[in-house]
Amino acid sequence: MKTWLLIVVLAAGTVLMKTIGPILAGGRQPPPALTRVIALIAPALISALVVAGTFTQGQHLVIDARAAGLAVGAILLWFRAPVVVALVLAAITCALLRLLT
């Protein structure tokens, strides 16, 4: 439950930062370097949450079926597979490994 609350708070903060910033700047556009950084915040945040959710359990580092599912999904996306296909095959990989172990 804490993870989902964190995701909602961070997503709201990202949207708030992207909308309030230009308003407070008086309608001016931020410098191009700052715009590039802002554009990378959301993907970096999502990546960090995925990695933390995959490789941790409580306060411990774990490598289990979730890591294999993540690897399968990442490889499929690397080769430009549709997101739904990558998600389904990653979930199937994770489920099969959990069934076998």
The predicted structure's pLDDT at residue 87: 93
DSSP 3: H
The predicted structure's pLDDT at residue 92: 96
Buried b / exposed e over 62-76, threshold 16 CB at 10 Å, is eeebbebbbebbeeb
- Region of 63 please: left (phi>0), alpha (psi -120 to 50) or beta: beta
The predicted structure's pLDDT at residue 47: 84
Q: pLDDT by residue for the chain (101 residues), tens digit each? A: 576 677 778 777 877 777 777 777 777 777 788 778 778 887 888 888 888 888 888 778 888 899 999 999 999 999 999 999 999 999 999 999 999 98
Write down the pTM of the prediction: 0.62
